Amino acid sequence: MPWGRRRPQHFTGDGILKVTVVGAGTMGRGIAQVFAQAGNGVVLTDVYPKALETASAEIQKSLAKLHAKGIIAEPPEVVFKRINFTGDLSAGKNSDLFVEAVLERFDVKEALYKQLNELAGENSIIASNTSSISINALSSAIRKPENFLGLHFFNPVPIMKLVEIIKGVRTSPSVVEKSLEFVKQLGKDPVTSEDFPGFISNRILMPLIREAILTLEEGVSSKEDIDKTLRLGMNHPMGPLELADFIGLDVVQDIMKVLYHEFGDSRFMPPVTLRNLVNARRLGRKSGEGFYKY
């Protein structure tokens, strides 16, 4: 049975009631949606009004689709009403949980945390959805680092079950426990990771994508056959080149650069073909062309 039907309409799991999601881009809007689906009141905020407009339209579309498929039982408009779309970050004051999903840049996140420190209560949890920046490094900008951790959702958030929970050295075990329980109540299936570059997922995925690109670059096989091998031979739902296009080739390159820099190991070095595609702005699905045409 879909999780939306098993759950009480207004979940108050572990006292988390009010959630603020900062950044209404690809990830933030999906994260806001799943919190609303679980019955939480959500403040979704962004510095660009256009991002909030897009988020509102995309969330409505997604809720309607999930409802039509029977994945959520509640009327979409009821879920939608739980989200307050606003450019005013102070609307999130005293939220039980803040999830930061802004650009993958340390300086941008650090500047935002200065504001969140003012809005967070003594027991508020602050989580980053970062894919690659160190949780310990980010925690240095947080007033109460024991209440800070990584909650790494996957794209598309309403569909993907996995959430990586990343513990910083200073994260309190009770905050990890609370976050684990809470993520389960969202209908997600969490794993925990120490704060190592790429955590679990990208540490394993990036060398796979890199090797697939090198296999293509060296003329071993065609892109179609490389992807088919992983789909049919290893039962992956998508081949690694298709997946890279889906993630965005610029994002893939940025993650590889961080891992290469942090580990100093060539198994993470961005291949030349990837660099050339990114420089030519062939970024995958989002630009209409990457390894494949869309």
Q: Is 77 a catalytic residue?
A: no
Q: How far apart are CA 283 and CA 250, in angstroms?
A: 6
Picking from 131, 126, 41, 128, the residue whose alpha carbon sits closest to that of residue 86 is 41
- The residue among 37 and 129 lying less far from ligand NAD, judged by its C-beta, is 129
Q: Which of 20, 26, 124, 139 is in the footprint of ligand NAD by CB under 6 A?
A: 26
H or E segment and range at residue 81: none
Q: Residue 37 CB, nearest distance to ligand NAD (Å)?
A: 18
Q: How many residues make up the chain in this entry?
A: 294
- The identity of residue 72, as a single letter, is I
Strand pairing report for 18-22 and 41-45: parallel
Which 146-185 positions form the footprint of ligand NAD (CB under 6 A)? 152, 155
Task: Choose the catalytic residue: 40, 124, 128, 131.
Answer: 131
Q: Which residue is nearest to ligand NAD (CB)?
A: 25
Query: Which residue is associated with the tokens 């794209």?
Result: 155
Least spacing, CB of residue 129 vs ligand NAD, in Å: 4
As to burial, measured by CB atoms within 10 angstroms (0-12 exposed, 13-18 middle, 19+ buried), residue 57 is: exposed
Active-site residue identified among 40, 100, 129, 164: 164
Q: What CA–CA distance (Å, rounded) separates 264 from 257?
A: 10
Which residue among 40, 128, 139, 152 is the active-site one? 152
Residue 164 annotated among the catalytic residues of the structure: yes
Total number of residues that touch ligand NAD (CB under 6 A): 25
* CB of 24 or CB of 230, closer to ligand NAD: 24
Which residues of this chain interact with ligand NAD, rule CB under 6 A? Answer: 22-28, 45-48, 51, 101-104, 108, 112, 129-131, 152, 155, 247, 251
Active site residues: 131, 152, 164, 202
